[in-house]
Amino acid sequence: MSGGSPHRRRLPIPVPPECRELIARGGLVVLNHSGGKDSQCMTILLSRIVAREQLLVVHAPLGEAEWPGTIEHIEKTIPDGVPLILAPLASGKTLLQRIEERGRFPSASARWCTSDFKRSPIERELRRYLKAHPRFGNLLVSAMGMRASESPARSKRPAWRRNVRNCKAGRDWFDWLPIHALETDDVFRIIREAGQSPHWAYAAGMSRLSCSFCILASRTDLSRAAELRPALYRRYAALEKRIDHTLSPSRMPLPELTGVPAAPGRGDPESGL
């Protein structure tokens, strides 16, 4: 559980007037938490301005593709008394299974991994939660830790918008990016000043936390992930061969891209040992 001493420095969170009104009316504020630094920073900041009985943390577990210890890290760093719900894929299939079925990895232009494994399961569980807890009056603010400095695409995203797709059945649903304007240094400082530590993968050399082997990862991150998770790396490399499609948009196979060999190891499904 998170605690932390009083903070000497606080960066203001711009709260849209409509958001303030929804919170004042008792609406539910959902913290979409990946386990990464931005989600953690956002959770710290919003827990200061929203009553805990109006907060909910939701996480879409990614199974084998997820960094070990992610759910435990979330549980350790969210405020006491704030519920955490998980939003798994309804079919129970893994990301690797879905990639093999499709015969292709996701891409930056076709990020079905995000829609299938994160957005859709999370929205499903939030609709259920809101229906099961009428005290929130069908009012929901879905907060996400996206920041403008992460990419040109994210810089163009509005920090506050009505989610028309989910404004049905009497629901008022808004998407909010409360830390959109923060820089990476701000994020790590807020976590540190709250008396917390980021997920262990950052200290191990990863620059971001998503799937262990992400289609958007840099070559450096993929190489480090291959060193940290060798058995899973070999499975990804073997999958590339089977479906004749690469994780990287460069179309370079992982062993060539990372410089890390991917010979099957003892106990791997591909090795026969």
11 pLDDT tier (thresholds 50, 70, 90): low
How confident is the model at residue 266, as a pLDDT?
52
Q: What is the pLDDT of residues 95-128, one digit of tens each?
A: 999 999 999 999 988 889 999 999 999 999 999 9
Strand ranges in the chain using DSSP code E only, listed in sequence order? 28-32, 55-59, 84-86, 139-143, 160-162, 172-176
Residue 267, pLDDT above cutoff 70: no
Architecture of domain 17-185: 3-Layer(aba) Sandwich (3.40)
Q: Which two tokens stand for residue 134?
A: 């009428």
Say which residue the tokens 């289609």 belong to.
215
Q: How far is CA 173 from CA 14, 50, 83, 137, 162, in A?
A: 19, 17, 19, 11, 6
Residue of 83, 71, 76, 88 whose CA lies nearest to 30:
83
Q: What is the pLDDT of residues 52-91, one digit of tens each?
A: 999 999 999 999 999 999 999 999 999 999 999 999 998 8
- Alpha carbon dihedral 222, 225, 229, 230, in 10-degree steps, equals 50
Q: What is the pLDDT of residues 17-54, one digit of tens each?
A: 999 999 999 999 999 999 999 999 999 999 999 999 99
How confident is the model at residue 7, as a pLDDT?
41
